[in-house]
Each structure stands twice: as structure tokens, then as C-alpha cells.
């Protein structure tokens, strides 16, 4: 029997106790066989002294034969008994590749067929179980998951170069935007806004902004009219009258537009917006101009600098939330996970959707990758050397096999006693 087996990875793994227990049971079975042999020699030596020794002799002889037979059978599974080249021994090492193929076929036929996966998944409520686990703050493992996930994400954000990470995020975001033709999307949004009358507050704001702008630049307008007026108007002072009339007319027009929702100017603005929405969706030239403008905007260094600042604020904010002390609610990540757990636990419709998605996903995985998983199992076992396969199987079932030897020795002895009794009666 090999020494201790380690868990996968082999680094820092605790030794598995099964091989040592199997070795102890093998010694016990061998000791019992030796005891039967010693008892046989003792009974054979004293069988003439008393009739009872004949019963002991029958028991020990049959027990020794049964123990030897079972020792041979158990040993032949893993190695050649006494190193002798006896046919049909060392069964597991000699048939390692066939065992690998059989294990792979068993896994494929009983676990990785779509029908089996779907049937097993249909009886499981994964979403409900996950929701109950996440929603219950008393579950220590759930809390450790939240804290561990938060700490892991925080360490990842801190370990990566902020500028490079921000550049990568920006690159991914800009690539997605570059694939998206924004002109039809903007046109549809504008058309929907107009149809729902949600553009009216925007028009009101624009009119008020125009009025405030006109008021702030009133002297500039007067000076402009004064410079454009001819000498006669300036000599007679009519330029001031004209400037006042123009400003008064503009103020009156803006006031009427604000007060009257049906003002013709509003209608003209709406017509212009509707035509713009239509052209952005169907005018090829306008759509091309919008795309060129989008490309120029994304290539502008100022946009890159703006995004870098936005990303740094986002990263700092995420780190602050992730590192929030446990006494303050374990951070927003924990709160979000708890809230998600409550929804999963209490919403049957959501559970049904998620369970259906999980079932379809796993069925799809079994269809697409089932053969690859089976091949991986088969090739992995094939790559093991014969001693590794023998040690692992013996470590898993060796203790029970040694019980077979013990039972064979004792049952064989009892059968010997029964045969001796029948012989005396006949």
C-alpha cells in the first residue's frame, strides 16, 4: 500500500487517512490468517488427546483455506501474488486503459446525457436554495462569501495598474460604441420623445434660456444695430428707437411662445425636430455625418482624459464601498447580495425563470462539451501510471476488501465445522 495520498494540488493538503486504515485492516486480516495457521498446527499436534481438538482442527483448517483463497483474490486485483506471473492477476494495473474507458463511458451514459441532466435539474430548485442561502445573514458561509468576494474584488482593483485598466475598459467600451450605429438610435429616441410630448419642457427651457441670453446681451444688440444703421438714422436718433423695437418684439415673441402651448413657433420647432428624427433614421448622408462625428469624438484626446478621470472616481468609489467595515453593513456588495437573495427566495416566477435557464444551460453544456469531459476523464486516467491507479483504488476500497479476507477466514472456519459435523453424523 502506498503512503498517504494528497488532495488535488498536493500543496498544503492534509493527508488522507484511508490508506493507513486500509493498511491496518490488511495487517489484521493477515494476522488472523497467521493465527488460523498456528491454530491448525496446534490442533493437529494435539488432536489425539481429546475429541474436541478435531473440531478445532476442522475450524482452523477450513478458516486457513478460506483466508488464503480470499487473500489471493484480493491481492490479484492489485498486484501479482508473491510476485508470481499467474494468469488473470494484477487485474487493475493490467487493465488500466480499459478501466479508464469504462469510467468515461459510465460517466457519459449515466450523468452527461441531456435527458439525465434535464431530469435531475427539473427536480432541483437551485434559485430558491441560492436565494435562501444569500438572504440569511446568520449563515456564516454566506457572510464569508460576501466578505471574501468583496475583498477579492478590492485586491484585484488595487493590484492592477489603474491607468492601464482604465484604458482597457475605455477601449472595450469604445469598441462596442464603434460597432453601434448611433444615428438611427438617436432618431428613434427623439421620435419617441416627441410622440410622448416629453419634448415640451425642453422647448420651454430653451425659450427661457433664449430670453435670459437676450437680456444679458441687450447692450451688445443695441450697439450692433447702432453700428449697422446709416448716418441719417443715427443723426435723427431713430437707431435707438429701432433697437428698442427689435428687443421689445423679441421679448414679446418669447413671452407668447412660453404662454401659448399652441404657438406657431412651437409648431415650427416640433416640425424641425420631427424631420431631424426622420432624417437621422433614413437619410444616409446625415447618418454618415453622425458616424464621422462619433469617430472624431472618440478619437479626441480630451475625451480620453475625461474618461480617465471618470474611471478613477469609479474605481475609488468601488474600493471605498468594498472596504466598508463589517459593522457598517458589510458594504454595499453584501447588501446587494442579501437583497438579491430575498428576491430569489420569495419570487416563484423568478425562481422558475432562473431554474429554467440553469437547466437549459447545463443541458447545453452536456450536449456541447459532454464528449470532451468524457475524453478528459479517459485521457487523465490513461496518463496515470499503473502504480498510481492501483494506489488510488486500493486507498478508496482497500479497507472493505480486507474485511472480505477476515469474513472469508471466519466463514470458512464455520463451514469447516459444519462439514466436520456432517461427517461425524454420517
Given this model, what pLDDT does residue 35 score?
92
Residue scoring higher pLDDT (33 or 392): 33
Task: Let me know the angle formed at the C-alpha of 254 by 250 and 259, rounded to the nearest 5 degrees.
Answer: 145
Given this model, what pLDDT does residue 305 score?
79
At 7, is the secondary structure helix, strand, or coil? coil
Q: pLDDT tens, 226-275?
A: 666 655 455 555 667 767 777 788 888 888 877 887 888 878 888 888 88
Percent of the chain with pLDDT over 70: 81
C-alpha span between 272 and 194 (Å, rounded): 11
Residue scoring higher pLDDT (366 or 19): 366
Q: Does the pLDDT value for residue 38 go beyond 90?
A: yes
C-alpha span between 356 and 337 (Å, rounded): 21
As given in the structure block, the three cell numbers for residue 246 are 427689435
C-alpha span between 264 and 155 (Å, rounded): 61
As given in the structure block, the three cell numbers for residue 108 are 457519459
Q: Does the pLDDT value for residue 166 go beyond 80?
A: no
Residue scoring higher pLDDT (49 or 103): 49
Reported confidence tier of residue 39, pLDDT bands at 50, 70, 90 = very high
Residue scoring higher pLDDT (325 or 162): 162
C-alpha span between 127 and 133 (Å, rounded): 10
C-alpha span between 326 and 146 (Å, rounded): 10
Place of cell 435527458: 115
Question: What mean pLDDT is reported for the chain?
Answer: 77
Angle between helices 331-346 and 140-159 (to 10 degrees): 130
Any idea where the domains of the chain sit in the sequence?
A: 18-98+386-425, 181-303
Q: Does the pLDDT value for residue 421 go beyond 50?
A: yes
Question: Which class for 207: exposed (0-12), middle (13-18), buried (19 or more C-beta within 10 A)?
Answer: buried
Q: Does the pLDDT value for residue 16 go beyond 50?
A: no
Annotate 119-164 with DSSP letters as a single string: HHHHT--HHHHHHHHHH-TT-HHHHHHHHHHHHHHHHHHHHS-HHH
Place of cell 441560492: 130
Q: Does the pLDDT value for residue 187 go beyond 80?
A: yes
pTM for the model stands at 0.41
Q: What value does the mean pLDDT take over residues 199-228?
A: 78
As given in the structure block, the three cell numbers for residue 165 are 485598466
Given this model, what pLDDT does residue 414 score?
92
Residue scoring higher pLDDT (382 or 21): 382
Count other Cβ atoms within 10 Å, centred on residue 330: 18
Q: What value does the mean pLDDT take over residues 388-408?
A: 80
Contact assessment for residue 381 and residue 389, using Cβ atoms and an 8 Å cutoff? yes
Given this model, what pLDDT does residue 248 score?
81
Reported confidence tier of residue 325, pLDDT bands at 50, 70, 90 = low
C-alpha span between 270 and 385 (Å, rounded): 80
Task: Let me know the angle formed at the C-alpha of 293 by 289 and 294, rounded to the nearest 5 degrees.
Answer: 115
C-alpha span between 58 and 51 (Å, rounded): 12
Annotate 207-219 with DSSP letters as a single string: HHHHHHHHHHTHH
Q: Does the pLDDT value for residue 14 go beyond 70?
A: no
C-alpha span between 25 and 17 (Å, rounded): 13
C-alpha span between 362 and 248 (Å, rounded): 74
Contact assessment for residue 20 and residue 34, using Cβ atoms and an 8 Å cutoff? no
Q: Does the pLDDT value for residue 306 go beyond 90?
A: no
As given in the structure block, the three cell numbers for residue 53 are 481438538
Contact assessment for residue 26 and residue 1, using Cβ atoms and an 8 Å cutoff? yes
Residue scoring higher pLDDT (7 or 262): 262
Q: Does the pLDDT value for residue 11 go beyond 60?
A: no
Annotate 406-422 with DSSP letters as a single string: HHHHHHHHHHHHHHHHH
Q: pLDDT tens, 127-162?
A: 888 877 777 755 544 555 666 666 666 777 666 666
Q: Does the pLDDT value for residue 373 go beyond 90?
A: no
C-alpha span between 55 and 57 (Å, rounded): 5
Q: Does the pLDDT value for residue 18 go beyond 70?
A: no
Annotate 334-351 with DSSP letters as a single string: HHHHHHHHHHHHH-HHHH
Count other Cβ atoms within 10 Å, centred on residue 51: 9
End-to-end CA distance of the chain: 47
Q: Does the pLDDT value for residue 337 go beyond 60?
A: yes
Place of cell 492601464: 164
Least confident of 5-9, 123-127, 281-285, 364-368: 5-9
Reported confidence tier of residue 34, pLDDT bands at 50, 70, 90 = very high
Given this model, what pLDDT does residue 231 score?
58
Given this model, what pLDDT does residue 9 score?
41
Given this model, what pLDDT does residue 41 score?
92
Amino acid at each position: 500500500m502506498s503512503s498517504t495520498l494528497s488532495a488535488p494540488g498536493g500543496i498544503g493538503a492534509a493527508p488522507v487517512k484511508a490508506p493507513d486504515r486500509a493498511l491496518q485492516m490488511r495487517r489484521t486480516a493477515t494476522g488472523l490468517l497467521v493465527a488460523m495457521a498456528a491454530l491448525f498446527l496446534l490442533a493437529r499436534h494435539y488432536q489425539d488427546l481429546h475429541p474436541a481438538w478435531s473440531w478445532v482442527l476442522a475450524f482452523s483448517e477450513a478458516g486457513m483455506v478460506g483466508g488464503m483463497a480470499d487473500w489471493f483474490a484480493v491481492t490479484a486485483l492489485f498486484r501479482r501474488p508473491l510476485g508470481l506471473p499467474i494468469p488473470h492477476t494484477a487485474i487493475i494495473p493490467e487493465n488500466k486503459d480499459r478501466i479508464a474507458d469504462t469510467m468515461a463511458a459510465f460517466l457519459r451514459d449515466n450523468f452527461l446525457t441531456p435527458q439525465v441532466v434535464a431530469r435531475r435539474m427539473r427536480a432541483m430548485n437551485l434559485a430558491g436554495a441560492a436565494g435562501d442561502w444569500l438572504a440569511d445573514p446568520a449563515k456564516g458561509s454566506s457572510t464569508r462569501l460576501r466578505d471574501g468576494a468583496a475583498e477579492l474584488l478590492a485586491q484585484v482593483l488595487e493590484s492592477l495598474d489603474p491607468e492601464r485598466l482604465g484604458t482597457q475598459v475605455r477601449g472595450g467600451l469604445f469598441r462596442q460604441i464603434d460597432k453601434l450605429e448611433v444615428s438611427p438610435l438617436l432618431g428613434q429616441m427623439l421620435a419617441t420623445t416627441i410622440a410622448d410630448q416629453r419634448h415640451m419642457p425642453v422647448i420651454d427651457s430653451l425659450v427661457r434660456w433664449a430670453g435670459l441670453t437676450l437680456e444679458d446681451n441687450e447692450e451688445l444688440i443695441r450697439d450692433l444695430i447702432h453700428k449697422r444703421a446709416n448716418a441719417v438714422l443715427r443723426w435723427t436718433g431713430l437707431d435707438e428707437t429701432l433697437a428698442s423695437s427689435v428687443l421689445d418684439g423679441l421679448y414679446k415673441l418669447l413671452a407668447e411662445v412660453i404662454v401659448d402651448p399652441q404657438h406657431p413657433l412651437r409648431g415650427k420647432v416640433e416640425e424641425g425636430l420631427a424631420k431631424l428624427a426622420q432624417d437621422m433614421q433614413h437619410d444616409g448622408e446625415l447618418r454618415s455625418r453622425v458616424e464621422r462625428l462619433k469617430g472624431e469624438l472618440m478619437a479626441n484626446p480630451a475625451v480620453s482624459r475625461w474618461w480617465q478621470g471618470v474611471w478613477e472616481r469609479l474605481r475609488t468609489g468601488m474600493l471605498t464601498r468594498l472596504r466598508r467595515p463589517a459593522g457598517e453593513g458589510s458594504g454595499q456588495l453584501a447588501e446587494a447580495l442579501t437583497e438579491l437573495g430575498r428576491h430569489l427566495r420569495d419570487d416563484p416566477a423568478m425562481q422558475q425563470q432562473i431554474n429554467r435557464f440553469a437547466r437549459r444551460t447545463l443541458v447545453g453544456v452536456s450536449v456541447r462539451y459532454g464528449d470532451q469531459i468524457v475524453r478528459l476523464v479517459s485521457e487523465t486516467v490513461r496518463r496515470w501510471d499503473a502504480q498510481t491507479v492501483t494506489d488510488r483504488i486500493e486507498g478508496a476500497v482497500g479497507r472493505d476488501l480486507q474485511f472480505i479476507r477476515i469474513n472469508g477466514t471466519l466463514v470458512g472456519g464455520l463451514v469447516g465445522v459444519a462439514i466436520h459435523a456432517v461427517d461425524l453424523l454420517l
